[in-house]
A and B are shown apart, each in its own frame.
Chain A
Amino acid sequence: MTNEELQNKIASINNSLEFTEEASEFLNITVNKDDLHKLCTDLKSDTDLSFDYLFCMTGIDYGKELGVIYHLESIKHRHQIVVKVKTEDRENPVLDSVTDVWKTAEFNEMEIFDFFGVKFNNHPNLKRLFLTPDWNGFPLRKDYVDVDNIVIK
């Protein structure tokens, strides 16, 4: 399906979504964080869409908000979309886990928790993946300060 068809199709599932195609080759969908899990389940189970391959999962710090970006692809139809979700709570950001939809999210969510501090509900084993459990702060956040290891030029 082309991006336009995808947009129409996905809008018919959930009409509270925000679509952009600006400065990206993929169709970008921004979803409210409470609807995330529902949308993901729909995207995977719908036979016309069948986004069964989560090929990239990125945490991002927008400055004010923390976000997670899901790159999805369908094995059958070979179309790709991007789902974005944001949360403004920087102290205790919580999102729903999608490990039950795509199992590959397990390690990726652990990585995002490790570097951005985003917690995921219903994750089977949420802990720091790379860093030691007693590490302070979340290094990939833009406001992370580490006077010992980061040299600011």
Chain B
Amino acid sequence: MTKDKITNDSFKTQEYFVNMGPQHPATHGVLRLILTIDGEIIKNIEPDLGYIHRSIEKMCERDSYQQIVHLTDRMDYLSSHINNHAVCLTVEKSLELEVTDRVKVIRTIIDELTRIASHTLWWGVMGMDVGALTTYFLAFRDREMINDIFEETCGARLTMNYNIPGGLMNDIHPNFIKRVKEFLVHFRKKLPEYDSLLTNNVIFQKRTKGVGILSYKDAISYGVSGPVARGSGYSSDVRKIHSYAAYDKVNFDEVLFTEGDTLSRYKVRIAEMWESMKIIEQLIDNIPEGDISVPTKAVIKLPKGEFYQKVETARGELGVYINSTGTKNPYRMKFRSPGLSNLNALNQMVVGGKIGDLVATMASLDIVVPDIDR
């Protein structure tokens, strides 16, 4: 080719598609993203969902309310107790059942332990996604203690099934209070390690600062919730706004960061672990005496009507919508999953960034795919 024949067309670049997932280390399970990439720069993201869809909503239409509680463990398996809690609260609300203070406090403590467990796992995975592999093991060291507490009291480590409509399955284990206190002492010492290993690392700061920005306005419009929303400065803590269980009795702050980037979402979660510890510390010594469950009928029939309850899971706002016709099964049951809305905003956050940015941003969204697919 002679020199004058070289035109712009000779150096034409082409966008190409890359399938990220469903088997990819950064997609945390079975999420599939169809990326349109120009070199290293991301032009478009199209999530392809449904690889772990189990039609929980359809199954709910067939099951009794006690059975539904156990199904919800399998949605967001990292905050399984909070999912149970949401369904129980909805059923109790519709039956106008007032649970005892003891139940409320125990539920709150376990909710917060679940949140810490979920956030520690997230922290480990976040580190792995940006390339620091050691974080995973530090996170599991601390998470293991919480899982042991759960195993003792609830009988399971991950899908606990501890809540039933009207209260709790069993009373807490005699060791529970001692173990939780031990954990708090341990974790107060270990949480600063998280900062010194990852948060204060220059490379980590460079990787996350100013990356994957979601503005305040977009955050509301995309309906994001949980730490993702609070990283954009949008106050969305259901525990504060529509308080449930024992959250109105405790003193804690809602963590807000206004930058809206990956680093601020990261910092929100780290700070939330401190807040969760604060909540547990206030409650652990003051578990009131009382019954652990209010007796319900063997077959729960909800009155005719529509019921809605939202709770704050580790990932954001989980809503439970029940449309009842007065039978023992719900007519329509819908779970408002936090992950679906958060994933919806991903395209907005990473288009124009590099592949590395996508991985870091996705890690900061803390996606649990079964929660999105349901």
Known: A71-B308, A102-B223. A130 touches B49 (CB 8 A): yes
- What are 18 contact pairs spanning A and B, CB under 8 A? A22-B305, A25-B308, A28-B306, A56-B308, A56-B319, A56-B321, A71-B308, A71-B336, A75-B235, A78-B241, A102-B221, A104-B344, A129-B50, A130-B49, A130-B50, A130-B53, A130-B373, A140-B58
| A19 interface residue per 8 A CB criterion | no
Q: What 5 A-B pairs have minimum CB-CB distances, sorted nearest first?
A: A23-B305, A104-B223, A130-B50, A56-B336, A58-B334
| B50, closest chain A residue (CB) | A130
A123 to chain B: closest CB distance in Å? 13
State how many angstroms separate the Cβ of A16 from the closest Cβ of chain B. 22
**Complex: A71 Cα to B321 Cα, angstroms:** 10
A26→B308 contact, CB < 8 A:
yes
Chain A positions within 8 Å of B373 at CB level:
130
Does A17 make an interface contact (CB < 8 A)?
A: no
How many angstroms between the C-alpha atoms of A150 and B220 in the bound complex? 38
Please tell me if the beta carbons of A106 and B344 are within 8 angstroms of each other in the complex: yes
Tell me the total A-B contact number using a CB cutoff of 8 A.
86
Q: Which of B264-323 contact A (CB under 8 A)?
A: 303-308, 310, 317, 319, 321, 323
Pair B332/A104 contact, Cβ less than 8 Å: no
Q: Is B218 an interface residue (CB 8 A)?
A: yes
Do B49 and A129 have beta carbons less than 8 Å apart?
yes
Number of B positions contacting A (CB below 8 A) = 39
Query: In the docked arrangement, what's the CA distance between A111 and B373, Å?
Result: 10
Question: How many A residues have CB within 8 A of the partner chain?
Answer: 37
Contact A104-B49, Cβ < 8 Å, known A23-B304, A58-B334, A75-B234: no
Q: Which of B222-264 contact A (CB under 8 A)?
A: 222-225, 234-235, 241
